Amino acid sequence: MEKIDKQFEQELHADFLRSLHDEKVKTQGERATYITSKFAFITGLFGLGALKVGEIDFSLLLYFIPLVAIGYDLYIRASDLSIKKMGAFLRSSPQAGTTEIERSWEKFAAKNRDKLAQLATTLFSYIIIIGAAVFILIQQGSYKPTAFYVGYPIWLIVSVVVNGLLWKSHRDQVKKLDDYREQQEIS
């Protein structure tokens, strides 16, 4: 009876690892989809924001561009952290029961992260924010209502600061997961 329980436990463990790997691949695909959707949606907003049909001006849509970019970044970063959590578990948890080669790969991948890749989403969002800001200035032309001189700088500063804070938060969470690996190795 004990042999059957042990065999059943091993099968459950193998199924769990397979489903964890499947989830990791699925999440990588979701992250790529979010990135593609971000490009498409932002491009659409820029196009609509540039549109002026008679007296109807859609340029106010440009103010939503940073919000959309940051919203997508939250999903992109959540997917990225989910992937990194799975890696941290596989390389560090004794209960994971991963093979030595898999633990070695996960350790190697964590130690050799591409630092520029971590900046890609943030830099792209900064480009989007600055592009929207410049486009808004160009569309405003020489006539700028008084409210513009108050609202525009606040909008721009908040957009830039929030994007930076999101980058810092993500970087800190990735570092925490990497430190988790080191803490597990020490104990």
Picking from 6-10, 30-34, 132-136, which range would have the lowest pLDDT averaged per residue? Answer: 6-10
Confidence grade of residue 181 (pLDDT, cut at 50, 70, 90): low
124 has a pLDDT exceeding 70 = yes
Q: What is the pLDDT of residues 25-80, one digit of tens each?
A: 999 999 999 999 999 999 999 999 988 888 888 888 999 999 999 999 999 999 99
What are phi and psi for residue 56, nearest 5 degrees? -85, 120
Kindly state the percentage of the chain with pLDDT values over 90: 50
144 vs 49, more confident? 49
Kindly state the percentage of the chain with pLDDT values over 70: 95
Confidence grade of residue 83 (pLDDT, cut at 50, 70, 90): very high
pLDDT averaged over every residue in the chain? 88
| Inter-residue contact 148 to 55 (CB < 8 Å) | no
What's the pTM? 0.84
